Homo-oligomer: A and B are copies of this chain.
Amino acid sequence: MNQEAAGERAGADAKDLFRKLDQLCYPKSVAILGASEQFVKWGGLLTANLLNGGFEGPVYPINPNRATILERPAYKSLRDCPGPVDLAFITLPKDKVLAAVRECGAAGVNNLVIVTSGFSETGAEGRALEDEVVAAARAAGMRTLGPNTMGMISTRQKLFMTGAVAMPPVGGISMISQSGNLGGQVMMWAEQQGVGVNKFFGSGNEGDITCTDLLAYLGQDDTTDAILVYLEGIDDGRGFLQVARTVAAKKPIVMLKSGRTKEGAKAASSHTGALAGSREVWDGAMRQAGIMLVKNPMDLIDGAAGVENLPLPHGNRVAIVTVGGGWGVVATDLCKEYRLRLPALPAEIVALLDKQLPSYWSRANPIDLVGTVEIDLYVSAIEATVASDAFDAVITLGCIGASSIAREIGTVAHAVAPNAMNAETVAQFEAMASGIEMTLRSEIARLTKKYGKPIMNVSLDRRHNQVVIPTGDGKHIVAFNTPEKAVRVLAGMAWFDWWRQAHNGGQSARG
């Protein structure tokens, strides 16, 4: 964030920035300058993605050489469009961008997304051109995302306009990415994993709109519940952190800061030209600002699933409920390594579960249900712990997905004894197993809500490949495919709640 931008956010100008970004995210019409019939080109891909995403306003492909593009009417220039153009995507060759921006200004376009590359990321000459382009846009009242951005998404507006084929479901997670390909991949994962997305910005060269601007905007955006950031480097680190601290008091920021190591910083510099800064300085400063730091791209999705779907834990005391002893041991080690505590089971929980669980149960935390497949016992153990003042969170291992084993057994039995276990019986068995699974999911969603504590599930269903899974009655629970992910996300959430209580007058906004 430059000083000018920082000043803007201080008062009436901040309102203006946010108004312009609202306009950018909810355009009434979109023109694509450089639209192409060749869908492997950016101008074809963006057009195809935009149309495929279901954007409901007019879409104007602009191409002087074609009457139609992808079976829609194409227009020779902005002047030929039958209605006003709100947002213009520019994918023209670099040397045509400045003239196009001036044309957009003259035509009353409100905002620009410039996908074209070859600007400040290539050196001084490119930077001079970028400055000229942005100045021309600003002079005409337009704000610019890019240049060298891979695009943006605004799910509520059905605006899917990136170089990646990604259509995540509508939800509360918004993302800012300084890498187009990495951001696009995270959006693909969001779609695959059932993580609901609100807005996505590839920030590109940040010739005009910066990461800091976008963070401030998303911080006050009521439809954004949590923010993901992939950051390589930034000019005004202080300004970014100042905004981050204000935003983190309101909603979680999960960030992957790459260029952490000297070598990574060098790679980042050759990638975006930004100064990455030393790891030690960044790490400490980011934590002080309340940013939840992660190390791997997929951690962004895991973290998003947690903060979007679960209450924050108001402490680090964890109960583990496991269907198998080995998993309990593995999760116990991981909890300790991520600084989560495993208090002993209070006597009243032991007494309560003694009445319900088989005599050989562990009577300790982890609660080892020793391969029990009775769903009522899972629910008893989960409720006893989540309801207890002794625990801030519960991790279940092998409860979600346990019924899949029954289904697999049915299939095997049918294969070896098709008469004793006929197809109809297998189908009944599968239906029963599915019913049990969905009942358990519903119960976990109910207990999460009732007690306001996170329940992190680790599924051992081998077909499990989605972190956010539906209960069947309109709710969702979170189920990871490894204990490490569950522990890592929970530890991050516990840390964030601690930060918020320490820095936010003791209030935890989502708790």
Q: Is A155 an interface residue (CB 8 A)?
A: no
- B180 to A409, Cβ gap below 8 A? no
Which residues of A from 233 to 262 have beta carbons under 8 Å from B? 256, 258-262
Copies per complex?
Answer: 2
Residues A179 and B325 in contact in the complex (CB < 8 Å), given A267-B332, A330-B258? yes
Residue A405 interfacial (CB < 8 Å)? yes
**CB of A211, distance to nearest CB on chain B (Å):** 14
Q: Is B181 touching A263 in the complex (CB atoms < 8 A)? A: no
Complex alpha-carbon distance, A307 and B235, angstroms: 43
Residues of B near A177 (CB, < 8 A) are 326
Contact with B along A178-209 (1 / 0, CB 8 A): 11111101001101100000000000000000
**Pick the contact of A337 from B261, B272, B329 — CB < 8 Å?**
B261
Contacts of A483 in B (CB 8 A): 296-297
- Which residues in chain A, 105-148, are within 8 Å of chain B measured between CB atoms? 122
Which residues of B sit under 8 angstroms from A267, Cβ to Cβ? Answer: 325, 328-329, 332, 364, 366
Question: Which residues of B have CB within 8 Å of A188?
Answer: 462
Are B324 and A48 in contact, with the CB atoms below 8 A? no
What residues on B are CB-neighbors of A420 within 8 Å? 37, 70-71
Cβ of A91 < 8 Å from any Cβ of B? no
Contact B271–A329 (Cβ < 8 Å) = yes
**CB pair B295 A484 closer than 8 Å:** yes
In the complex, which residues of chain B have a beta carbon less than 8 angstroms from the beta carbon of A270?
A: 325, 362, 364, 368
Say if the beta carbon of A412 comes within 8 Å of chain B.
yes
A2 within 8 A of B: no
Q: Are A413 and B181 in contact (CB under 8 A)?
A: no
User: Is the Cβ of B179 less than 8 Å from the Cβ of A329?
Assistant: yes
A417, B82: Cα distance in complex, Å = 22
Distance in angstroms between the alpha carbons of A182 and B484 in the assembled complex: 14
> Is there a chain B Cβ closer than 8 Å to A26's Cβ?
no
A232 at the B interface (CB under 8 A): yes
| Binary per-residue interface labels of chain A (320-340) against chain B in the complex, 1 for a CB within 8 Å, 0 otherwise | 000111111110111111000
| Residue A52 at the chain B interface, CB threshold 8 Å | yes
CB of A415 within 8 Å of the partner chain: yes
Q: Is the C-beta of A460 less than 8 angstroms from some C-beta in chain B?
A: yes
**Contact partners of A37 in chain B: CB under 8 A:** 420
A298 interface hit (Cβ, 8 Å): yes
Q: Contacts A264-B333, A416-B52 given: A368-B271 contact, CB under 8 Å?
A: yes
Q: Which residues of B are found within 8 Å of A40, using beta-carbon distances? A: 373, 406, 409
In the bound complex, do residue B329 and residue A258 qualify as a contact, i.e. CB atoms below 8 Å apart? yes
Does A45 sit within 8 A of B, measured CB to CB? yes
Q: A39-B421, A336-B264 are in contact. Are A181 and B323 (CB under 8 A)?
A: yes
A239 vs B482: C-alpha distance when bound (angstroms):
32
Once bound together, how far apart are the Cα atoms of A271 and B39, in whole Å? 58
Distance A416 CA – B332 CA, assembled complex (angstroms):
51
Known A165-B408, A462-B192; contact A329-B416, beta-carbon cutoff 8 A: no
Cross-interface CB contact of A70 among B295, B327, B413, cutoff 8 Å? B413
A32 to chain B, nearest CB (A): 13
Q: A371 on the interface (CB 8 Å rule)?
A: yes
Are B362 and A70 neighbours in the complex by a CB distance under 8 Å?
Answer: no
Interface digits, A71-89 against B, CB 8 Å rule (1 contact, 0 not)? 1000000000000000000
The residues of B that contact A405 with a CB separation of less than 8 Å are 164-165
Given A297-B483, A337-B261, A398-B181: A326 touches B70 (CB 8 Å cut-off)? no
A49 CB–B CB distance under 8 Å? yes
A492 at the interface (CB under 8 A from B): no
Which chain A residues numbered 394 to 452 have a C-beta less than 8 Å away from chain B? 398, 405-406, 408-413, 415-417, 419-421
16 more A-B contacts (CB under 8 A) besides A264-B329, A297-B330, A298-B482?
A39-B413, A48-B417, A165-B411, A179-B329, A185-B327, A263-B332, A263-B335, A264-B336, A266-B332, A267-B329, A271-B325, A295-B484, A296-B330, A296-B482, A297-B482, A298-B481
9 contacts between A and B (CB under 8 A): A39-B421, A48-B417, A49-B412, A71-B419, A181-B324, A181-B460, A232-B329, A264-B329, A271-B329
| Closest A-B pairs by Cβ, 3 of them | A179-B326, A181-B324, A182-B326
